[in-house]
Structure 1
């Protein structure tokens, strides 16, 4: 009995040490903030995937009323520019963009994120048995009424095979990354049923027929093309059969561009956004 009492007395100390170790582990999964004018950024880590990839997020927090831009910023703005060259033990890296929203004002529209965003990054180590050092230099812009250039630097040390760390912030934005979807009908996600040139308008444009699943909805469509392609805001019209027709004007194109053209369509909506890559036969523009 006398030997048991000292052990019982040590139990709270042991539990406290375990709690502090878990707290330290959580803290170790986040880099310090890197502040700029009206914005700051940091890196956060999530658990390693089953295939050995490291999950990282670039978290950007902005002052009230400010926004930053998507990879395709719309009619004005600049997309973030990532520099990972200072990193070690990285064999591949994939930036996974959460679905953005569209902002309209008297000058036109931009596409991006308001207030805050976490951009998920998937990192493939060269040697999965060794730690990964993720080093980021980011040039980006934040905008209220005018755009302000911003810079940030952050680094994060990732141990191999860490699966017990959780990051609800990262996971919530991973759930906003569009899922790939092939053309055709789907039961549980948004579907692109038809896609092609819009013959019903004078100005060149695109026409999509979209099918949301039961209880789902279509909110917006973003179109991207390689080079100087630029597309207008999608005009959505609900149909009696439950489909939604999206009409999208071609605002700008590379000089002389026509014929088969690869495009990326990102559809914002519920239950989850989708992304589809299509090659459409685009007619020549007006001379």
Structure 2
């Protein structure tokens, strides 16, 4: 399958880090919100020419993985993804970031007081070659209340919600094909500017979605993508879990769930 070949190619090209370190990382401690939640951020700085990947990296990317084991005073945690950009590698599309990434993390602590956040982040890095890389980061987050402008800016750069972007009906049609399913979406929405790129996340980690064919008919954005189970099993798709991100020149839109 295509995703397997792409990942294998990245791993074959992997090599020990050269003298130029492609990435440096720190954990920004952030601040405590009035409701008791805490906002911190991973701050990644990439060397010139290098880029890394979004949560749905595309055909030519390596998806990031997090392990928060060892963290203390953490009840719940979620990563907030700023709007990514589109890259092209050997004719294949990937989605990610270059130069710098501030990745906010919203944490619900178990109790008042300090939080110790520990993470092992596995991510892909690409320049002339692609390689997997692992970051180990740990920091104590005190219950301070002064906001961090860099984190606040990253949180403000997330895609618009369905309501903010004036999205209307989202219709999803599924049909079987020779290797799995084909998913066609028809989204009533104003243009997001320029050539619009759609990213489909089927809501099932074991299901791969191809780069969708995307076109616009007036006020409707149409996408069609192939879905394949990584082990060749049948796919039971829940339309309410389908997530569609539209990346345009002017803004991005995050659409969660189909209406029909």
Which range, TM-score by smaller chain?
0.7 to 0.9
Select the structure of larger CA radius of gyration.
1
Equivalent residue for 1:152, pick from 132, 135, 144:
135
> Paired residue for 1:277?
257
Q: CA deviation at 1:131?
A: 1.0
The total of aligned residue pairs comes to 231
Deviations 1:72-129 (A, max 9, x none): 221132212212112111111111122222222324111211222111100111112x
Q: 1:259 to 1:118 in 2, by over 3 A?
A: closer
DSSP 3-state at the match of 2:151: helix
Q: CA deviation at 1:207?
A: 2.7
Q: Which runs of 5 or more residues in structure 1 are unaligned?
A: 1-34, 281-287
Deviations 1:112-163 (A, max 9, x none): 11222111100111112x2111122222121013212222222222222x21
Deviations 1:31-60 (A, max 9, x none): xxxx99311111113232121111011111
Please identify runs of 4+ aligned residues in structure 1 that moved more than 4 A: 258-261, 269-272
TM-score, scaled to structure 1: 0.70
**d(CA) in 2 for partners of 1:259, 1:275:** 16
Q: 1:49 to 1:195 in 2, by over 3 A?
A: same
8 Å contact from structure 2 (residues 198, 223) kept in 1? no
Equivalent residue for 2:189, pick from 198, 211, 224:
211
**d(CA) in 2 for partners of 1:180, 1:56:** 22
Deviations 1:236-273 (A, max 9, x none): 3251xxx1423232163453326654311122345553
Q: Which has the higher contact order (CA 8 A, sep 6+)?
A: 2
Please give the root-mean-square deviation of Cα atoms over the aligned residues, in Å. Answer: 2.9
Does 2:165 match 1:169? no
DSSP 3-state at the match of 1:42: strand
8 Å contact from structure 1 (residues 87, 136) kept in 2? yes
Does 2:100 match 1:116? yes
DSSP 3-state at the match of 1:145: coil
Within 5 Å, give how 1:22-171 maps onto structure 2: 37-128=21-112, 130-160=113-143, 162-164=144-146, 166-171=147-152
Q: 1:82 to 1:57 in 2, by over 3 A?
A: same
Deviations 1:182-223 (A, max 9, x none): xxxx4x424142322389xxx94413223128xx54732211
8 Å contact from structure 2 (residues 87, 94) kept in 1? yes
**d(CA) in 2 for partners of 1:36, 1:135:** 26
